[in-house]
A and B are shown apart, each in its own frame.
Chain A
Amino acid sequence: MSQHLPSAALEEKKRSTPFSTPAREEAKPLLARRAAAGLGARLGLVGIYVFLVVMAIFALFPLYYVVQASFAGAQNLYTTDLHLFPAHFTFANYVTAFTQEPLLNWIGNTLLVCGLTALCGLVCSTSGAYALARFRFAGRELTLRALLTLQAFPGLLALTAYYLLLNALNLLNNLLGLVLIYSAGAVVFCCWNTKTYLDGLPIELEQAALLDGATPFQAFWHIVLPLATPALAVAALFTFMTGWNEFALANLVLNANANGSNLTFILGLYSLQSDFRTPWGIFAASSVIVSIPLMLIFFFAQRYFRSGLAQGGLAN
């Protein structure tokens, strides 16, 4: 394999003239060769389109199925025959989902948890990252290493300890308990990403500001934060997204009340689906309602994600 290095290939291309190579191909008449190649290429292209269509069906089918099911009446779903289009188009599932299930509460709770997680994680990770990037102190290297080691420990492993901890803090069955656990889980990644980003920013501006009499906090707030916006966006999104799908810890911390209005959406949807009295159409409608804002956030977030990560230099 080592003989076929790309650089070697380039070298060879430089040495050989375009006229020296067709010599090998003289065995077949040129026209026949062209025709065969064209047919092969066309067959290849057909194969590629077949593959694309199969993959598109694979990618879209679950999403399509849930959307069409959300518009179908209940009798349409609980048959053993296949229905790929709703026979009776109806919004009844959406109406039921909004009026009889605490859907808005679930969305509200999830946004609250994720929003507070992002805020809390951002404050802790950014200030910490700034200290690690700009200040010299004993134990700096040790802190960086400790962060990396802690990150290898998945929070789920300490389920019992979390339960006792939240119990001691009186945060069981409280959304704030979840906020605490989620933001601690995201803080290491964010701190590292932001620190690497800050390492790439010039320090001279802050030095000048300090000479002019600014406090370190003013330098941090007025100079560093505006420059670090892409990295902060990544950190905020990352922390926001750690919690929105999480099931195990949420299930540990939150106990459903009588109508389940204190849950996050994933717990709520799970309870809807495992409860056999709830028609699947209502679950489908609820899923669609919950997914739309999340998918919008994702598409909006995506471009920030790329630039902030690339410049944050996670690859190093």
Chain B
Amino acid sequence: METSPSVEHGVHGHHDHVHGHAEHHHEETFLTKYVFSQDHKMISKQFLITGMFWGVVGGLLSILFRLQLGWPNETFPFLETFLGKWAEGGKISQDFYLALITMHGTILVFFVLTGGLSGTFANLLIPYQIGARDMASPFINMLSYWFFFTASVIMLLSFFIQTGPAAGGWTAYPPLNGMRNTAIDLGSGLGFDLWIAGMALFIIQALLAGLNYVTTVLNMRTKGMTMMKLPLTIWALLFTAIVGILSFPALLAGVVLLEFDRLLDTSFYLNNIIINGHLLGYKGGSPILFEHLFWFLGHPEVYIIILPAFGIVSEVLAVHSRKPIFGYKAMVISLLAILILSFIVWAHHMFVTGLNPNLGAIFTLFTLLIAIPSAIKVFNWIGTIWRGRIRLTSAALFAIGFVSMFISGGLTGIILGNSSIDIQLHDTMFVVAHFHIVMGIAAFFGMFAGVYHWFPRMYGRFMNETLGQIHFYVTLVGAYCIFFPMHFMTGLPRRYYSYGNFETFNNFNNLASFMSVVAIIVFLAQLLFVVNYFYSIFKGQKLEGEYANPWESNTLEWTAPVERMHGNWPGDIPTVYRWPYDYSTNGNDFNPQNIPLKPGEATH
């Protein structure tokens, strides 16, 4: 970043050696500063901007398939102009519809809400909030971004090949995706091979980044920063990284074996496949095995998405309410409980695959248990704003919106997690409504809260509040308008191109059109956010002073100068004396963590 040659980089933490020297004073080139940067702040921006790009792409895909779902009998000639043979006569083809939903899921789950969310905030906040000059390994950190970038390029390329991108669902179940040469449909060809290559690189990214985050948090905390003095953002990001490290390898194994089936005609997932009366030579595999491997990551993945949002929201709500987070210890313990339980609930995605009913019962038990730590978190957030002095800024609004969404979406999880009820609801629009609210919209709200809150830290300027609040209300109202009524489509199978073949399902066409109109409006509101973001980088209101703490927050990132520099702090890194949530106590509105305790004052 903007390294000033005059800055002293003498001390690297209190507990390690001193090396003051010239090697830090080298001139940075454009390439090392903006492209192959090893600075956590720049890498965080790279993740965020790449994530925003993917967010727009993923959102646009959803608008395209919402056109089909909202008006299944209409044609849109402009689609043919842009999409050619995939939308002949202005109607999205059946194949391409599946490609759209597949890539929408893949992009948003992995590239936006994992790469974009975790990547951005772990990079930005971990070194800043624990009082470190950078990550444990800035080089591995740089590599992780470039693996992410390469994975992104490969995924994006798959849109431009003749047979189109992957189209077998983001869950990539075999045999639909398990046989390359049979070319059952568009998307089971090269597009899906690219999908696997992209995912493999993405997983490498997640592992490299995760190991780095865990190492940094455990080893590089500044003096006085005990684990129980960590802001909840860091707890959440630490747990996210642990979940990722332990679960992503299962997916890597799963997709590599899948590619073996496709390229080498092995039979890991295939058995007795008969196509048009021809028995193929696959013997002895099981498609269910893939489902187990996939969901062994797939379910923890939703916690990888939502945990950083938990952390961000806890921090933002406390700061903007001028009040300590309610029940800090309970928050940490409930995060830990979610971390553990997240590994033993995966088969609730498989209640109707014919798995042993005993297994179904066990997974019902653990799945519903996860509601307990989730409920504790919700009550504690509500407890945090109770009797606070809430500054309703864009960041605070999005944090409140997050809690609202998390409640709405989380509650329907209690229905879906119950195996006997899930028989009817499995793979229907009810599920789509549930997970979009609880891990889609909610995670986005967490991300927006984080961006509005830490934008001044990233760029030394505020984002435009007015635009931020328009963005908030349109998104909040719009998201509920799309996904609340979707719950009434209980029993309508998902991933249907049209419901016209069924009398049973064909009764919601007006509602589908309404949801599509709202979806377009919500999408435009997200573009407004993108406009606001880039506008504010250059024209946003500047922070005043050399050191500014715009939200009057306790955490260490605001003790660093507004002018970002390599190493974060000129001179010594701060020492921590306090808990991060000392708001409205001790006669002060806020008490930054680096302010020594007054005589007689107790720590938390």
Partners in one complex: no
